Chains A and B, each alone.
Chain A
Amino acid sequence: MSKPPLDGIRVADFCWAWAGPYGSLQLAHLGAEVIRIESATRMCPTRLIPPWAENEKGVNRAGYFNQYNQGKRSITLDLKKPEGLGVAKKLVAKSDIVIENFAAGVMGKMGLGYEVLRKLRSDLIMISLSGYGTTGPESSYVSYGPPQVALSGMSSLTGYQGGPPQQAGFSYGDPNGGVHGSFAILCALLHRAKTGEGQYIDLSQREACAMLLPEALMEYAINGTQPDRNGNRDPYLAPHGVFRCQGEDCWVSIVVGSEEEWRGFCAAIDQPGLTADSRFCSLAARKEHEDDLEQIVTLWTRGRTAEAVTHTLQQAGIAAYPSLNGRDLLANSHAAERDFFVDLEHPEVGKRRHSGIPWKMSRTPCAVRRPAPCLGQDTTYVLEEILDLSQDEISSLKAKAVLV
């Protein structure tokens, strides 16, 4: 077995919160050495929010931080001090990639803009992930993850039939922005491998979210309209929805994808006669009588568990799956069999189950090599082994309270 794809690639990671860290997480998954530059004077927000392990607060006990920073290292530097900035620049000079998700212009104001950093390393690849991008009349606007879903157009399109715009249930704009960022970085890495040339990438999270909405954007571009909010329904398929099952707040998702599957579905629910019912005998008919259709499906599902429904329908060749909650997710036997979950021992919170890497590579396997870092745990390693600082230099930094 060979070294992971990005073995030997070093990332100076100035990211915080979720979007940026999710992007650098993909690089860590691919085997890069990702070094988070943190500071107790400017703590990453995700070290400060619950859930805490055993409900005890602590910057190394935050589940959210520990999930999205698996595999990375952490150095603490006070970037407001010139010595701290100096160390950060030394690290950048030894790094292939700089990634940051501050508001537009913040890195520049700190003295860490691309024009400065590329002088330290001419083939540097740097990416800025911001809500609005670094150009344009709204580039100075403040952007948080949750409003991105609304800003990008997604909320306008999401919601129950006849109901108001809804959110996504989670801060979807963040991981989406982050993963598009890691794609961009890899493009730049491949370009550099061929030409020796680095570059600067300016990514807008709002635009990354808008990339996911072509059916609506193109409808507006072509016809001047946008799709009405339609719950879990689909314009081209029926049945297509999430149906109540036995148990408290238990649901199953079902999609019947063709006329052949519809016949199989009717047989599977012991209602073969439905195929002859004029309300349901074609897709157009089922769309017209979709309320009735969904009632019939519910009558069948509500007396059964989501697992039983799934099993029966999958046997009949139909797409169905329970609506997993968080506990179901971690207990999912299929994902567990695939070794998707990571159960590493964290120095402060012990063994916790985390979601892992959604791909398996046959020749250069990827694995989460270490849990998320405790704050500043790798400061000595970075200063001594990467930057080759002397003990005197390190002592001096400590004395000036730079390494905090």
Chain B
Amino acid sequence: MPGGALAGFRIVEYGDMVSAAYAAKLMADMGAEVVKVENPVGGDTARQRGPFPGRIPHPEKSGLFLYLNTNKRGITLNLETQRGQEIFRRLIAQADLFLHNIHPTRMSALGIDYERLAQRNPALVMTSITPFGLSGPQSHYHAHDLTLWNAGGLCYLNGGGPGSEDLPPLKVFGQQAGFQAGIHAAVASLGALFARVRDGLGQHIDFSMQECLMAISEFAGIMPAYANQIVVRFTGNKAIRPLDIMECKDGWIYLCCVEEHQWKGFVDIMGNPEWATEPLFATRLERAENWDALKLFLEPWVKEQTVQDLYHKAQARRIPFAPVSTMGDLLDSEHLKVRGFFAEIAHPQAGTFPYPTAPYHFSATPWMLRRPAPCLGQHNAEVYGELGIDTREIEHLRQGEVI
């Protein structure tokens, strides 16, 4: 098995931060030949966001960039120049898939024009990942990860709890809009590649980040359509309890009793205390209604437990408790070690660290590391050489700020 499931596919990626990079990373990790195009000055803005070793910013040492760009070759190209756009067209002429997340208002100035690119390469699949899509009254809107998480109806759902009425809706950590756009756009792109294999023809995919977040918004859109209500973060979806995070002696645990037998098992672990026989707590619906009271009994007991002890005890009785894992818990996890989820990757400038690899094991075409994330312009000579541009010409273009 040389190469991986996507061996032979040639993919070009251009953009900033997460969405296009994550889609392309997943494909590169599955064996596709991915060329990442970056601006000669500064490159992908992810290089400016850490984490950095010792918190000292360095464009070759951003943990986010290093993770998002494993297995890719990297070139620099200035698409704001005519010559740069000409080279870009030659690069795309040989590509199977072009993924980008350039804002709709900047696409044509950079020469990102599907019709023109497809004329030369009718088999090209081009995926445009944009905040609000390429059409519609708000397609020109500016966006960042936080505003998209709100535009998708997801932020509004989170952050409730006693005394929190004055606190705003709460985002989830990190660049979640970017990641969801990346994985969903990767699905759409591979679908179009499958159609290409069948028909010999490519196409343009107009992918809206807002829409993919609306698509995963669980009860948010369903409640109004079916029950004429909305989900608010103060009560959440807690028709059943406990379904809550609670503090232990040495950390936090997620208590989860969805079925009656799970609650009974938990009561047993607690030593069958008197209070658990209260009619107030008899069924899961009543436990939800009387949660304020139930909490008063649970909290002191849980506070005396250690996370791992309670977790494994519960799981031994088939109760789906889970630790509120810290990053240390994940990197030290025996289970994840056996799964091979983390792998040490050496980078010539950043050094060697453990990285997450992939969440799936393929029996025939496993995840493989071929190269770490590229340094800025690292593969210029190699990739431009493949286009017939020799090192002298590259130097000339570099001086002209094209490369």
Contacts and interface: CB of A to CB of B under 8 A. Distances in A.
Contacts of B325: 150-153, 156
B95 to A, nearest CB: 16
A318 to B, nearest CB: 6
Interface in B207-238: 207-208, 210-212, 214-227, 229-233, 236-237
Contacts of A223: 51, 53-55
Given A160-B170, A217-B330, A223-B54, A186 B183 contact: no
A351 B215 CA distance: 18
B187 interface: yes
Contact of B364 (A137, A142, A197): A197
B50 interface: yes
- Of listed B49, B50, B145, B221, residue having the most chain A CB within 10 A: B221
Contacts of A189: 190, 194
B168 A208 contact: no
Contacts of B184: 26, 179, 358-359
A160 B159 contact: yes
A52 to B, nearest CB: 7
Interface string A181-220: 1111011111101100111111111111011111111111
A254 to B, nearest CB: 7
B11 to A, nearest CB: 12
Contacts of B6: 187, 190-191
Most chain A beta-carbon contacts within 10 A, residue among B48, B64, B214, B353: B214
A5 B194 contact: yes
Interface in B136-150: 136-139, 141-150
A202 B361 contact: yes
Interface string A207-237: 1101111111111111100110101101111
B156 A137 contact: no
Best-surrounded residue of A30, A157, A207, A208 (most CB of chain B within 10 A): A207
Interface stretch (A84-92, A319-327, A393-401): A319-327
A223 B167 CA distance: 31
B195 to A, nearest CB: 4
A238 B375 CA distance: 29
Interface string A339-376: 01000000001001111111111111010000000000
Contacts of B53: 222-223
Interface stretch (A162-170, A271-279, A382-390): A162-170
A317 interface: yes
A116 B210 CA distance: 42
Of the candidates B142, B143, B239, B338, the one having the most CB atoms from chain A within 10 angstroms of its own CB is B142
Interface of B is mostly: mixed
Given A210-B341, A212-B174, A191 B5 contact: yes
A360 B133 contact: yes
Contact of A158 (B150, B173, B338, B341): B173
A130 B69 CA distance: 27
A391 interface: no
Interface stretch (B36-44, B198-206, B275-283): B198-206
A171 B320 CA distance: 14
A167 B160 CA distance: 10
Interface stretch (B84-92, B252-260, B289-297, B383-391): B252-260
Contacts of B111: none
A144 interface: yes
Contacts of B5: 187-188, 190-191
B362 A188 contact: yes
Nearest to B321: A147
Instruction: Indicate the member of A30, A213, A359 with the most B CB atoms within 10 Å.
Output: A359
Contacts of B143: 319, 321
B67 interface: yes
B328 interface: yes
B344 to A, nearest CB: 9
A102 interface: no
Contacts of B318: 142
B147 A214 contact: no
B138 A323 contact: no
Contact of B221 (A18, A229, A354): A354
A358 B207 contact: yes
Interface residues of A, number: 156
Contacts of A249: 232
A105 interface: no
Interface residues of B, number: 150
Contacts of A235: 49-50
A176 B183 contact: yes
B165 to A, nearest CB: 8
A202 B363 CA distance: 8
Contact of A218 (B67, B206, B211, B216): B67
A356 B60 CA distance: 40
A206 B202 CA distance: 35
B26 interface: yes
A82 to B, nearest CB: 27
Nearest to A333: B137
Nearest to B27: A187
A151 B339 contact: no
Contact of B360 (A50, A203, A257, A337): A203
Contacts of B8: 194
B183 A222 contact: no
Interface stretch (A35-43, A72-80, A239-247): A239-247
Contact of A242 (B54, B155, B187, B226): B155
B188 to A, nearest CB: 4
B52 interface: yes
Given A63-B226, A212-B179, A334-B138, A242 B150 contact: yes
A142 B141 CA distance: 43
Contact of A325 (B153, B195, B204, B358): B153
A281 interface: no
A133 B361 contact: yes
B146 A155 contact: no
B307 to A, nearest CB: 10
Contacts of A139: 335
A186 B194 contact: yes
Interface in A273-296: none
B150 A326 contact: no
Closest 4 CB pairs between A and B?
A: A218-B63, A169-B158, A169-B157, A63-B226
28 contacts: A5-B191, A5-B194, A6-B191, A64-B218, A138-B335, A147-B320, A153-B330, A160-B159, A166-B161, A167-B245, A191-B364, A191-B365, A200-B363, A205-B359, A211-B179, A213-B174, A214-B356, A217-B327, A222-B51, A255-B147, A320-B147, A321-B141, A326-B219, A326-B220, A338-B208, A358-B208, A359-B208, A360-B206
